[in-house]
Amino acid sequence: MKEILDYLPEEYGLNPSFNNNQLAKFIYQKYINDFDEATSLSKDLRAKLKKEFNLMPLKLKNKQISIDKSIKFLFELKDKHTVESVLLPMKQERVENGIKKSAKYTICISSQVGCKSGCSFCLTGKSGLIRNLSSAEIVAQVLFIKKYAQIPYEHGVNIVFMGMGEPLDNLNAVAKAVKILAHNDTLAISPRRQTISTSGLAKQIIELGKMNLGVLLAISLHAVNDELRDKLMPINKAYNIKSVLDAIRQFPIDARKRVMFEYLCLGGINDDISHAKALVKLLHGIKAKINLIYFNPHKGSEYKRPSEERVIAFRDYLQAHGQNATIRQSKGLDISAACGQLQDEQKRLEEVQ
C-alpha cells in the first residue's frame, strides 16, 4: 500500500484534478484520521483511497514533556524502528503594539533511523545507520506534531532537519519532504522557514544548492581546526573544514539570510577564547550567524557541559569582532532532549521488561 504523504497533491492521481487539492486540505489542514472523514469526496473515491493509500506511516511510541513545555516524541515506524522529533515552543501567544501575535514553534525532525556520521558527542550515531526515512515518514513527523499540539494550520512553524540522522545523506527524500511541506495545499511552510542542518557533506551541500529549494543551511562545525574536528566528527576526514567552507561559498543564500554555523561548546575542549579567535578568522568573508550551544550531557558521554562564563566570554569575543553570534538557550534539560536519548531510554526499558 502506498503512503499518501510521499506525494505532492498533484501526484495523487485522482480524477477530476480538483479532488487532489480537496484531499490535501483534509489531510494537512483538517487533520483527518481516516479517509472517510473527507466527506466532500464521493463514497467511491474514499473507498479507492482506503484501498490504495495509507494515511499515517508512524505512531506515537513514547513522549516526554519538559517544564519549559518542550515535548520530545518517540515515533514507531511500520518496521518497528523508532525515530525522535521535538516540539520547541519559542514564543507564547502575546500582544505587540496592540496586535495579537500567535505563538511560535520550532519542530526538529529526523531524516534517518540512526546515523553513520559517528560524531563522538552524539548518542544517535552510536548504533550506526539503520536506514533512510522516506519523505512520507519525514513529513508525518510534522503533521503528527501539529495535530497533537493543536497548532492550527494557519499558524506557521519553523522546521529544522536536525533530529536523528544526516539529512544530506538522504538528500532526495529530504528535498521531496521540503517541497511537500511547502505546498500551498498542504502545510504551506515556506522553504525560508525550513533549515537543513548538516555535519558538512561538501559534495551534497553543492548538490542541495543546485536544487534551489530556497531552504536555509546550518553547518555543524564544532571545531576550528581539522585535528580536533577529526576527533569529534569523523566525517571531517572525508570533508575537511576547507572543503565545507568552499561548498558554502557556492550555496545560494537569500540576501536577508545567513548561513547558520552550529558550534557545540564542550567543556574544556573547544570553548576557549583561542578557539573563538580562530573561528573569527575561519569565517571571514562568509555571511554567517554563529549559534553557540551548550553540550547536553547524556549517560556514558566523555564530554562535559561548559561553564556559563566561558560560553558568554566566547560569544562576547565573536560579537566584538564583527560576528553575529548568539547562545542558544537549552530546552528540555529535564527530559531526554538530546538526539537519541529517548530512543536509548526506551530500548533500556524494553530490555529490562
The tens digit of pLDDT for each residue in 108-150 reads 999 999 999 999 988 877 779 999 999 999 999 999 999 999 9
User: What would the grid cell of residue 68 be?
Assistant: 519549559
Q: Residue 308 in 3-state DSSP?
A: helix
Distance CA 171, CA 166 (A): 9
> What pLDDT, on a 0 to 100 scale, did the predictor assign at position 333?
66
> What pLDDT, on a 0 to 100 scale, did the predictor assign at position 337?
52
- 202 pLDDT more than 80: yes
pLDDT digits (tens, 9 = 90+) for 54-101: 999 999 999 999 998 999 999 999 999 999 999 999 877 555 666 555
The band of 2, judged by pLDDT with boundaries at 50, 70 and 90, is very high
- 350 pLDDT more than 50: no
> What pLDDT, on a 0 to 100 scale, did the predictor assign at position 349?
42
The DSSP symbol for 37 reads G
Distance CA 211, CA 44 (A): 39
- 201 pLDDT more than 80: yes
| Rounded average pLDDT over 19-43 | 95
The band of 352, judged by pLDDT with boundaries at 50, 70 and 90, is very low
197 strand-pairing partners? 218
Rounded alpha-carbon distances, angstroms, from residue 50 to 29, 56, 134: 19, 12, 20
- 108 in catalytic set: no
pLDDT digits (tens, 9 = 90+) for 269-295: 999 999 999 999 999 999 999 999 999
> What pLDDT, on a 0 to 100 scale, did the predictor assign at position 340?
52
pLDDT digits (tens, 9 = 90+) for 155-179: 889 999 999 999 999 999 999 999 9
Distance CA 230, CA 226 (A): 6
Distance CA 279, CA 282 (A): 5
DSSP string, 268-311: TTT-SHHHHHHHHHHTTTS-EEEEEEE----TT-S--PPPHHHH
The band of 342, judged by pLDDT with boundaries at 50, 70 and 90, is low
User: What would the grid cell of residue 304 be?
Assistant: 562535559
The band of 15, judged by pLDDT with boundaries at 50, 70 and 90, is confident
The band of 336, judged by pLDDT with boundaries at 50, 70 and 90, is low
| Rounded average pLDDT over 259-265 | 96
Class of domain 1-55: mainly alpha
Residue stretches of the annotated binding site: 115, 119, 122, 165-166, 197, 220-222, 296
The band of 332, judged by pLDDT with boundaries at 50, 70 and 90, is low
- CATH fold label, 56-352: TIM Barrel (3.20.20)
> What pLDDT, on a 0 to 100 scale, did the predictor assign at position 99?
58
Between strands 99-101 and 94-96, the pairing is antiparallel
Residue stretches of the annotated binding site for [4Fe-4S] cluster: 115, 119, 122
> What pLDDT, on a 0 to 100 scale, did the predictor assign at position 33?
95
- 255 pLDDT more than 80: no
The C-alpha torsion from 182 through 172 and 119 to 219, rounded to 10°, is -50
Q: What share of the chain is helix, strand, coil (3-state, %, to 5)?
A: 35, 25, 40
The catalytic position among 84, 108, 137, 265 is 84
Mean pLDDT of the residues in the chain: 91
Q: Residue 350 in 3-state DSSP?
A: helix
Residues of the chain with CATH 3.20.20.70: 56-352
Percentage of residues in the chain having pLDDT higher than 90:
78
Residue stretches of the annotated binding site for S-adenosyl-L-methionine: 165-166, 197, 220-222, 296
DSSP string, 1-21: -EEGGGS-GGGS--SSTHHHH
The band of 351, judged by pLDDT with boundaries at 50, 70 and 90, is very low
**What amino acid is encoded at 338 in this protein?**
A
> What pLDDT, on a 0 to 100 scale, did the predictor assign at position 300?
76
> What pLDDT, on a 0 to 100 scale, did the predictor assign at position 101?
59
> What pLDDT, on a 0 to 100 scale, did the predictor assign at position 257?
87
Q: Which helix (H) or strand (E) holds 89?
A: strand 82-91
The catalytic position among 137, 262, 265, 339 is 339
Distance CA 333, CA 246 (A): 35
- 84 in catalytic set: yes
Residues of the chain with CATH 1.10.150.530: 1-55
